[in-house]
Amino acid sequence: MSHVSPRKHTSDAQPVSPERTPLLSLHDVSYLINRQRLVSHVSLDIGAQETISVIGPNGAGKSTLVKLILGLLAPTEGRIEAHQPLQLGYVPQRFSVPAILPLRVKDVLAQADKRRLSREQRDYILERLSLADLLSRQMHHLSGGETQRVLLARALLDKPNLLILDEPMQGLDPDTEALLYAFIDALPEFLRCAMLVVSHDLHWVMRGSRRVVCLNKHICCEGQPAELAVTPEFQDLFGHHYEQPYVHKPHACEHHAPHEM
Ligand SMILES: Nc1ncnc2c1ncn2[C@@H]1O[C@H](COP(=O)(O)OP(=O)(O)OP(=O)(O)O)[C@@H](O)[C@H]1O
> What's the mean pLDDT when you consider all of the chain?
85
Residue 176 lies in a domain: no
Q: Which atom of ligand 1 is nearest to the CA of 38?
A: 12
Q: What pLDDT is stored for residue 166 in this prediction?
A: 93
Q: What pLDDT is stored for residue 257 in this prediction?
A: 41
Number of compact structural domains in the chain: 2
SS3 at position 237? helix
- Phi first, then psi: give them for residue 4, nearest 5 degrees: -110, 125
ipTM over cut 0.95? yes
Which among 31, 38, 237 is the best mutation to test ligand 1's pocket, defined by most ligand atoms within 8 Å of the CB? 38
Q: In terms of domains, do 206 and 154 share one?
A: no
Residue 240 lies in a domain: yes
CB of 185 closer than 8 Å to CB of 42 = no
Last residue of a domain, one of 119, 139, 159: 159
CB of 117 closer than 8 Å to CB of 159 = yes
Is pLDDT above 80 for 16?
no
Is pLDDT above 80 for 25?
yes
Q: How far is the CA of 210 from the centre of ligand 1 (A)?
A: 25
Is pLDDT above 70 for 111?
yes
Task: Say which residue, 6 or 171, is predicted with more confidence.
Answer: 171
Share of the chain above pLDDT 70, in %: 84
Q: Give the separation between CA 146 and CA 148, rounded to whole angstroms.
A: 5
- Identify the band that residue 258 occupies on the pLDDT scale cut at 50, 70 and 90: very low
- Identify the band that residue 118 occupies on the pLDDT scale cut at 50, 70 and 90: very high
User: Is any atom of ligand 1 closer than 6 Å to the C-beta of 18?
Assistant: no
Q: In terms of domains, do 18 and 137 share one?
A: no
Q: In terms of domains, do 108 and 65 share one?
A: no
Q: In terms of domains, do 127 and 246 share one?
A: no
User: Is any atom of ligand 1 closer than 6 Å to the C-beta of 64?
Assistant: yes
What average pLDDT score do residues 3-29 get?
67
Q: In terms of domains, do 209 and 251 share one?
A: yes
Q: In terms of domains, do 83 and 107 share one?
A: no
Whose alpha carbon is nearest atom 24 of ligand 1? 58
Q: In terms of domains, do 257 and 129 share one?
A: no
SS3 at position 12? coil
What average pLDDT score do residues 236-249 get?
62
Q: What pLDDT is stored for residue 101 in this prediction?
A: 86
Q: What pLDDT is stored for residue 10 in this prediction?
A: 43
Residue 180 lies in a domain: no
- Which of 118, 114, 110 has its CA nearest to residue 139? 110
Q: Give the separation between CA 60 and CA 78, rounded to whole angstroms.
A: 19
CA angle, 173 then 177 then 182, to 5°? 155
Task: Say which residue, 182 or 243, is predicted with more confidence.
Answer: 182
User: Is any atom of ligand 1 closer than 6 Å to the C-beta of 29?
Assistant: no
Whose alpha carbon is nearest atom 30 of ligand 1? 59
Q: Give the separation between CA 208 and CA 60, rounded to whole angstroms.
A: 24
Q: What pLDDT is stored for residue 127 in this prediction?
A: 94
Those residues with Cβ within 8 angstroms of residue 127's Cβ, 6 or more apart along the chain or in another chain: none
Is pLDDT above 80 for 126?
yes
What average pLDDT score do residues 36-45 get?
97
Q: Point out which residues pair with 213 in neighbouring strands.
A: 54, 222
Q: In terms of domains, do 40 and 121 share one?
A: no
Q: In terms of domains, do 133 and 99 share one?
A: yes
Burial class (CB in 10 A: 0-12, 13-18, 19+), 90: buried
Last residue of a domain, one of 159, 181, 205: 159
Q: What pLDDT is stored for residue 248 in this prediction?
A: 43
**Which amino acid is located at 86 in the chain?**
L
Q: Which domain holds residue 144?
A: 93-159
What average pLDDT score do residues 16-31 get?
87
Q: In what order do the strands lie in the sheet with 51-55?
A: 88-91, 162-166, 194-198, 51-55, 211-216, 218-223
CB of 168 closer than 8 Å to CB of 18 = no
Which H or E run includes 146?
helix 144-157
Whose alpha carbon is nearest atom 8 of ligand 1? 64
